[in-house]
Amino acid sequence: MITAVVLITAEKGALPKLGEALAAVEGVSEVYSVTGDFDFVAMVRAREHDELADIVTRRIAQVVGVARTQTHVAFKAYSRHDLEALFAIGAEQG
């Protein structure tokens, strides 16, 4: 599974409805409105790079109100849940 963080800049006037429209895009698992240089962060998960390209360039970029996107593909995921599970495995063996 490929995970990507897509940073999205909205067109003026699009902010109120764009978050919900982005969340409805197939392949988008979460959308956050954020402060800073971008207006939204979308988490995208895909099985392969071609699918990821389709989600970002055809689905997200074509949503009315999206001015620009910047995509960052994740190499590896770290989460507290994963780390706790790993340590629990080690504790059971000890």
Q: Identify the structural domains of the chain with CATH numbers, from first to last.
A: 2-93 (3.30.70.920)
Residue 94 has pLDDT above 60, yes or no: no
27's CB contacts (< 8 A; 6+ apart) are 44, 45, 46, 51, 52, 54, 55, 59
Interatomic CA distance for residues 74 and 65, integer angstroms = 26
Q: How confident is the model at residue 92 (pLDDT cuts 50, 70, 90)?
A: low
In the structure, what pLDDT confidence band is assigned to residue 78 with cuts at 50, 70 and 90?
confident
Q: Give residue 80's pLDDT.
A: 67
pLDDT at residue 22, as a whole number: 98
pTM: 0.82
